[in-house]
Structure 1
Amino acid sequence: MTSVDAFNDADAETAAALLHPCCASTAWAKAVVAGRPYPDLDALIAASDPVVKDLSWADVEEALAAHPRIGDRPKVAVTTEKRWSQGEQAGVADADREVLAALADGNAAYEARFGHVYLVCASGRSAEELLGILQDRLDNDPAHEHDVVRGELAAITRLRLAKLFS
């Protein structure tokens, strides 16, 4: 946890490193850092959303690489991102084996169809709900799914910025 003032005062490299757990896109971090100073967390979050939505697909893929599959249960949460992902996916922790198996199958189908991990803002959602969303999104065309992924990435980033700066 850090303050927005400390973030504003940090050198660019340190500030970008602070942001990494929120969104692993280098381009996103550079753009948010370049927008400093921010008067408060709300302004920082407001600045983040349009940056996420304007990321190139390669930059989105860089961010996606830091996200585990929905339903994966890492043995040890050694990074901030992994700890946050575990908390965000808490609704999956008590899922029964059938739902976990369906999520694993759905993840595989999604990755085969779209070429990247299924990204969804999982906070406050049950395993069954996440599975339903995944199944619905399998019907999206790739261009529409890219837009959906950007929206989900923006939502996750907002939550994580709030965690980092609160």
Structure 2
Amino acid sequence: MPNVEISPGLAGLNALEPEAAERELLACCASRAFARAVAALRPFPDLEGLGAAADSAVRELAWPDVLEALDAHPRIGERAAGAGRTASWSRQEQVGVQDRARQALTEGNQAYEARFGHVYLVCATGLSGEDLLARLRERLVNDDDTERRVVRDELAKITRLRLAKLVSAR
């Protein structure tokens, strides 16, 4: 992310009480350990500093905390339900999934979940349904350790995108 001057949104996030900051950060990554860790590092001078702290926090999460974050993500190809900010962001991120790819993604999601025991997570922004399906198929051959690294990378990408939305919306 480019280095961005302090914006009213970032200044607002920096000024929140810890519990309120954690609630806001949970919209970006639904792990309570993540939200606590990032909120505790405030104030951030710019969006790049916030993003770097978030990347580090995602990579340091214990696997149960990663699974907690994954629980907030709908399956790729399924529209997130609800009117909340996180559901809205998820729908925006999956806008490239067309109906013809949904059935194949449904089947791929089932195979992935049977293989790894959790939802297939990928940063869907800018990807078509065919792209998402191809990545899913490539990842099905990963061993558990490799896939956990990939999941953390994807979670970090999604979190960075959502942090930018969070501070621009504040």
TM score, norm. by length of structure 2? 0.92
Q: Letter of the aligned partner of 2:79 in structure 1? A: R
Partner of 1:64: 70
How far did 1:9 drift?
Answer: 1.2
Partner of 2:104: 102
CA contact (8 A) 2:121 2:151 kept: yes
| Counterpart-to-counterpart distance in 2, 1:19 and 1:53 | 16
How far did 1:137 drift?
Answer: 0.2
Q: How many residues align?
A: 161
CA contact (8 A) 2:13 2:167 kept: no
Q: Letter of the aligned partner of 2:83 in structure 1? A: V
RMSD over equivalenced CA pairs, Å: 1.1
Tell me, which stretches of 5 or more residues in structure 2 are unaligned?
Answer: 1-7
TM score, norm. by length of structure 1? 0.94
- Aligned runs of 1:69-108 on 2, under 5 Å? 69-74=75-80, 76-92=81-97, 94-96=98-100, 99-108=101-110
Partner of 2:30: 24
Give the secondary structure class of the aligned counterpart of 1:139: coil
Q: Letter of the aligned partner of 1:130 in structure 2? A: L
Q: Letter of the aligned partner of 1:142 in structure 2? A: D
Runs of 4+ in 1 over 2 A off after TM superposition: none
How far did 1:78 drift?
Answer: 1.4
How far did 1:77 drift?
Answer: 3.4
Q: Does 1:6 align with 2:12?
A: yes
How far did 1:46 drift?
Answer: 1.2
| Counterpart-to-counterpart distance in 1, 2:88 and 2:82 | 5
Report the identity percentage. 55
Partner of 1:139: 141
| Counterpart-to-counterpart distance in 2, 1:144 and 1:85 | 25
Q: Letter of the aligned partner of 1:128 in structure 2? A: E
Q: Letter of the aligned partner of 2:109 in structure 1? A: N
| Counterpart-to-counterpart distance in 2, 1:95 and 1:78 | 22
How far did 1:165 drift?
Answer: 0.7
Q: Letter of the aligned partner of 2:58 in structure 1? A: V
| Counterpart-to-counterpart distance in 2, 1:6 and 1:130 | 35
